[in-house]
Structure 1
Amino acid sequence: MNILVLGGTQFVGRHIVEAFLVAGHTVSILTRGKSADDLPAQVERLQGDRNQGPEGLSALTGRQWDACVDVSGYTPAQVRASAELLRDRVRQYVFISTVSVYAEAGRHPVREDDPLLPPAAEDVTEVTGETYGPLKVTCEAIVQEVYGGNCAILRPQIVAGPYDHTARYPYWVDRAGRGGEMLAPGDGTDHVQVIDARDQARFTVKVVEEHISGVFNLAGPRLSWSEFLTVLGAAQPRWLPHETLQAHGLGHRELPLYLPEHSEQGGLMDVSPQRALSAGLVHTSPSVTAADTRAWSQNAGLSYALTPEREQEILSAVP
């Protein structure tokens, strides 16, 4: 099959491109050409800027593909332009969305039919923490409007694995790898859940190969924090209650992935992947995700909000 990926050079997109290549398909990517590109030579590089509307997509004119995978659609203007231009040029449109579209993030578990946030207006172009979810809601609606039954909407949870420059999941594997007494959030009974980028990528290939339509949550095994740190090999976790963390100014930047079980967003660590599992999603073992991420991240030069010095200062201050 001939596949078009909008985006494709970074983290999630890179894994998707590589999964299609492994499966024997031909891949073209459309990017602005501004990010580092370590993809294999056989990938066709097309250049364009979706923010310029149809004019920015001129590299796609006169071409046909079996499917388009949209990894880089964040605003309605971007997605409207690509969806409509490709309407008669691809048989299927796969949109990579997010679990941040859900209106009731404290619900346990979060399922595909749960209420969504109010959609953003189509002229909103600024992506912030507040607009990200509503913008994706609108983008999903545009894809469904244009493609009907010939589209799939994939809603991944926090994505983990090699090439993850967001530094959220890598913080924990790198911190555990450093050893010593380790600040651990909560009491070990809260939960953490991510999706391995390679599992998402392989499922995306399956969706295209089998022309699967519909909406799918993509989430991995759900672990307690105690189980998670055991998987990471953290030998000396020091559990600090949520209230203590707050008192020392520690939030999601310093302790990424941590959401207290009964917080307003606690349901985002209880996302049901059952529909995707029934359609063929296969989970990588959490220990493999951790080991492979650590093998990459230890030489990736990532920086973290919680420095070793600050962590030690807090541990020393707490009885």
Structure 2
Amino acid sequence: MKLSRRGLMQGAAALGSLWATGCASTKEGGGSTQAAPVSKKKILILGGTGFLGPALVEAAKPRGHTLTLFNRGKTRPGLFPEVEKLQGDRDGNLEALKGRQWDVVIDTSGYVPRVVRASAELLAPNVERYLFVSTISVYKDMDVHGIDESAAVATVEDEKTEDVSQHYGALKALSEKAAEAAMPGRTTVVRPGLIVGEGDPTDRFTYWPVRVARGGEVLAPGDGADPVQFIDVRDLASFILGLVEQRTVGTFNATGPASTLLMRELLEACRTANGGDARFTWVDADWLVEQQKVMPWSDMPIWIPRSGDSKGMGRVSTARALAHGLKCRPTVDTARDTLAWFKTLPPERQQKLRSGLAPERESAVLAAWHQRSSAGSPPASP
């Protein structure tokens, strides 16, 4: 089966971007360190009201940190009335940041190197550290298992381009370099995988607990043995704050779970979490793509077959992050909590998921699969 990594990455970009004292700094090389008592920090979050930002705020408040959010004031401006908010625009209006001091900046909203550079250079004299939230999509080759932070990153011929939809990974990689150039030796880069859970605007994970809870025959892609990776937004927020508190620099892949999770285990976790009478029909991956144009990642969220030029996306190494405190909650908990949150959304939002197959399309594909099977072609093994 021929799958285009560019198509997968463009989909990720389109959905994802529309996502002082204490102890001595940790060396980038990995390995756990003795944690000293953590001091409370003054933290500036660039963003803060989208998806990861609110999770950071919710995790930071009980730890006693003082928070400031900087954004345009357009996304949920009434969120967190008790938190200081500065209004401006990352692209050309940073006046509200001038002359202010913070211990650390957490950049959750940088996609273009020019914009990241402007923020980092302005803040460099008055902050201790800069933490940039990047992505595992920065890697040049995603066709190998166990990609770690030393792997080559994607490049773009015209480094002045700002076409995020076409060059998402390469621009994120250049943004990492821009932050480090502005604050050498004081920059932390976190490269998450797919971020999931409460507040996810994309439904790329939400599709599965919602669909499984609806019950009946569920179209399940492949043979169930393809590995999948994702990280609960709460676990990512906690990990980021841990790096901030311990004054850790370096680059970290941040996804989960801690051990290999197969597609069938994900769907079973959804069924365990939410009950119902869901029955999984595993459908051959090649047939899905070639005969029905049901595509991994978009039509079948999270799923990427373990063959092809993107097969490494389900087996990225997180050894360094785990050694520095990353903890991932059980998949069943993420599935249960995601569904509970989704049920609190307005009915019109619940009626149409933003990822995955519509019910009528799923039914049509299943019918075609059963017809093929009854004609003499055996179905894929579960």
TM-score by structure 1 length? Answer: 0.95
Cα distance between partner residues in 2 of 1:120 and 1:26: 41
Moved runs in structure 1, 4+ residues, more than 3 A? 119-122
Match of 1:225 in 2: 263
Aligned mate of 2:283, from 240, 244, 248: 240
The 5-angstrom pairing of residues 42-121 of structure 1 reads 42-52=82-92, 56-119=93-156, 121=158
**Helix, strand or coil: the match of 1:268?**
helix
The 5-angstrom pairing of residues 92-171 of structure 1 reads 92-119=129-156, 121-128=158-165, 130-171=166-207
How much has 1:120 moved relative to structure 2? 6.4
**How much identity, in percent, do the aligned residues show?**
41
Q: CA RMSD in A?
A: 1.4
**Helix, strand or coil: the match of 2:44?**
strand
Aligned mate of 2:343, from 290, 298, 310: 298
State the Cα deviation string for residues 132-187 of structure 1 (Å, max 9, x = none). 00100100011111212211000000011110011100011110111110000001
State the Cα deviation string for residues 116-139 of structure 1 (Å, max 9, x = none). 1115645322210x3100100100
- The question of whether the paired residues in 2 share the 8 Å contact of 1:192 and 1:225 is answered with yes
Cα distance between partner residues in 1 of 2:367 and 2:185: 58
Match of 1:2 in 2: 42
Aligned mate of 1:308, from 356, 359, 369: 359
Aligned mate of 1:184, from 211, 220, 223: 220
Aligned mate of 2:248, from 212, 234, 238: 212
Structure 1 residues 19 and 263: CA distance shift in structure 2, 3 A: same
**Helix, strand or coil: the match of 1:318?**
helix
Match of 1:317 in 2: 368
Which stretch has the larger CA shift, 288-297 or 33-42? 33-42
- The question of whether the paired residues in 2 share the 8 Å contact of 1:119 and 1:138 is answered with no
**Helix, strand or coil: the match of 1:67?**
strand
Which stretch has the larger CA shift, 78-87 or 13-22? 13-22
Cα distance between partner residues in 2 of 1:118 and 1:200: 26
Match of 2:72 in 1: 32
Cα distance between partner residues in 1 of 2:96 and 2:198: 30
Which stretch has the larger CA shift, 38-47 or 273-282? 38-47
Residue 274 of structure 1 aligns with an amino acid whose one-letter code is A
How much has 1:38 moved relative to structure 2? 5.5
Aligned mate of 2:333, from 274, 279, 288: 288
Structure 1 residues 146 and 119: CA distance shift in structure 2, 3 A: farther
- The question of whether the paired residues in 1 share the 8 Å contact of 2:121 and 2:183 is answered with no
**Helix, strand or coil: the match of 2:120?**
helix
Residue 188 of structure 1 aligns with an amino acid whose one-letter code is G
**Helix, strand or coil: the match of 2:266?**
helix
How much has 1:299 moved relative to structure 2? 3.4
Unpaired runs of at least 5, structure 1: none
Structure 1 residues 166 and 38: CA distance shift in structure 2, 3 A: farther
Cα distance between partner residues in 2 of 1:126 and 1:140: 17
Cα distance between partner residues in 2 of 1:37 and 1:65: 22
Which stretch has the larger CA shift, 246-255 or 2-11? 246-255
Cα distance between partner residues in 2 of 1:109 and 1:235: 33
- The question of whether the paired residues in 2 share the 8 Å contact of 1:92 and 1:150 is answered with yes
State the Cα deviation string for residues 168-219 of structure 1 (Å, max 9, x = none). 0001111011111000000101111101111110011111111000000001
Pair member with larger Rg: 2
Which stretch has the larger CA shift, 33-42 or 67-76? 33-42
- The question of whether the paired residues in 2 share the 8 Å contact of 1:120 and 1:131 is answered with no
- The question of whether the paired residues in 2 share the 8 Å contact of 1:168 and 1:257 is answered with yes
Which stretch has the larger CA shift, 119-128 or 235-244? 119-128
Residue 255 of structure 1 aligns with an amino acid whose one-letter code is M
Cα distance between partner residues in 2 of 1:96 and 1:186: 32
